[in-house]
Amino acid sequence: MNAVLQPRVTRRPMTVSDLDAMVAVEARVYSHPWSRGNFTDSLAAGYLADVLVSGAGELVGYFIAMTGVDELHLLNITVAPEWQGLGHGQALMAALRQHAQRLGLATLWLEVRQSNQRARELYSRLGFEEVGLRRGYYPAAVRREDAVVMCLALSAARSPGQADAVD
């Protein structure tokens, strides 16, 4: 039996030096990616932002979230295409939940494209509930797309398993 070794992946706070790689990943993943300015503004505002990086220094994924009164709102979570399907999205979500719990926040919020079934299923598996719809929230090729609003009460959050752990 041949074992495929996955390179070690570590999580750390996002920095300005990550911007070029993040903009490149955004362009590959999304039809309407965040701009460099969106990332710069988020960092300048002090939003919670982490990256996953491979042992070779390759950007694996990242998230940006904004704190509010007793809540954390996920603004962007992305995994590079070549790293998708390996549990990195789940690991990023576990890290986000840990940050929220460390800050004593009660709720995690997010919006997700209505058509993004893969992400909606991940969020549901993690305990998020669909609680609303924002009509015309996302830009799209022909017309705007609705966003499903999802919420996770941290007291009801499922504890992360071993697969969620990231250095």
Active site residue ranges: 111, 123
Give the C-alpha separation, 149 to 133, whole Å: 6
Q: What angle do CA 97, 105, 151 make, to 5 degrees?
A: 65
Tokens matching residue 136: 């015309």
Are 148 and 112 contacting, i.e. CB atoms less than 8 angstroms apart?
yes
**Residue whose structure tokens are 């590079």:** 80
Q: How many residues does the chain have?
A: 167
Backbone phi, psi, residue 88, to 5° = -75, -35
Tokens matching residue 158: 């499922």
- Which candidate, 19, 60, 59, places its Cα nearest to that of 40? 19
